[in-house]
Structure 1
């Protein structure tokens, strides 16, 4: 997957989604650098929900709070406890 420059501040614009570390990098970058409209454009909702318990620890408290406020289904009690 290729990301536009507003999401590729680390100069990493290409992600091989077949590689778990690259996929996690993409799913970390888009919420951290992107806008709300970027989420459905570049991420799969089911995979985001699956990865969110780990991602929320990687993106930092401010970022995960903003995303969980914007998308309350990310902050379900079961996910927040992980």
Structure 2
């Protein structure tokens, strides 16, 4: 009887990388979210806990960015994240997000890696 071998299933890390790669904007300039004020995230992004974030409060702003990077779809990323705020926060934000998120963002946008290196 011939043996049938199934292709190796992707690892959990590969699945996560593919998911987060799919949420990336084409360019950082596509991140046109607000820089000030309060944002109320939809349930599909903030499905548990806090949904309203005051961008003028640094901890809440960081929490919003962590949530959108981890749970948002591409449209959420471009709608709620702001290019300048992302760049300014990246040196700290990159330490608060998962490795797969950090890796796909820094691979696509080397300016983030450079920003982190200059802040160190």
Same structural fold, with TM-score higher than 0.5 when normalized by the shorter chain: yes
Structure 1 residue 80 displacement after superposition? 4.4
In structure 2, the partner of 1:79 is 116
CA RMSD of aligned residues (A): 1.9
TM-score normalised according to structure 2 size: 0.58
Unaligned runs of 5+ in 2: 1-38
Of Structure 1 and Structure 2, the greater helix share is in 1
Q: Which runs of 4+ in 1 moved over 4 A?
A: none
- Bigger Cα Rg: 2
Of Structure 1 and Structure 2, the greater strand share is in 2
Unaligned runs of 5+ in 1: none
Q: What is the number of residues matched between the two proteins?
A: 81
Change (3 A) 1:39 1:70: farther
